[in-house]
Structure 1
């Protein structure tokens, strides 16, 4: 094992590459990218969320969210609503088609996650998620 293989960043990157490849295979017919799936899932759990909040939550640039949201609206999965409290702000909800679609995609995502983490015990999986969460929320 080389020095680089003993670094957390390198190992996370390798896992990410493998998970993205598996995601693209499993979701190829859906036309979703990992970011689009995560966006739909976030809107599903947070109806009325603002676009900027999704970008913040997912670690994406707000400028990238514009085209992503636009494509999800065009596909009929997401609806944009002007905020009642601030006309400059739009909130996002899933359409009926979006709700049905995300239910199916969540089933795929859960199956993929189970497949990808099958070598971990339930406790190891929870610990991994907890440790990665700590790294994500560290203000650095």
Structure 2
């Protein structure tokens, strides 16, 4: 059985004030800020789209299907940058709710094409109308004059990190 750790020799027996915490190297981790920014953007998306809101990834996939009838699952994965498992789960969820239909291609039975149903088109239209308000909020937060540079920087970061794999 191990001995309990000795008490730390500290001057005070209270935690440090939050505004004086030492973050060490953490303030240099861009990923931390990207995560927090994503979480705030996600919360804004959910708040603005309301109770019937699709998850952002599902909204992305449904939008691709509405705008590209007969899009394949592989194309959806590539365009949305989602892995096969996530795409399959999203499509199954949408199909179960009557938002899309999946069809097997006549010329290749391994290929599954997706088409939005009328209910799926209507839901995507409702979500899109609300998503525009969300996009405006994000663009205002970034700054309209900085948006192109910001998105370009993110794309460059993605490309550079992928090139290192």
Give the TM-score of the pair, scaled to structure 2: 0.74
Equivalence for 2:110? 88
Equivalence for 1:59? 81
Q: Which runs of 5+ in 1 are unaligned?
A: none
- Offset at residue 112 of structure 1 (A): 0.6
Aligned ranges 1:95-134 → 2 under 5 Å: 95-134=117-156
Equivalence for 1:33? 55
**Partners of 1:67 and 1:119 in 2: how far apart?**
32
**2:69 matched to 1:21?**
no
**Partners of 2:118 and 2:51 in 1: how far apart?**
20
**Partners of 2:116 and 2:152 in 1: how far apart?**
29
**2:94 matched to 1:72?**
yes
Q: Deviations 1:64-105 (Å, cap 9, x if unpaired)?
A: 222210110121111111113211211112112211211111
Equivalence for 2:67? 45
**Pair 1:30–1:84, CA change in 2 (3 A):** same
Q: Which runs of 5+ in 2 are unaligned?
A: 1-21
Instruction: Name the Cα RMSD after superposition.
Output: 2.0
Q: In proportion to residue count, which structure has more helix? A: 1
Equivalence for 1:4? 26
**Partners of 1:86 and 1:136 in 2: how far apart?**
33
Check the 8 A contact 2:53/2:127 in 1, yes or no. Answer: no
**Partners of 2:133 and 2:60 in 1: how far apart?**
16
Size of the alignment, in residue pairs?
A: 140
Q: Deviations 1:89-134 (Å, cap 9, x if unpaired)?
A: 1111211221121111111111112113313332201211222122
Equivalence for 2:15? none
| Aligned-partner SS, 1:82 | strand
Give the TM-score of the pair, scaled to structure 1: 0.86
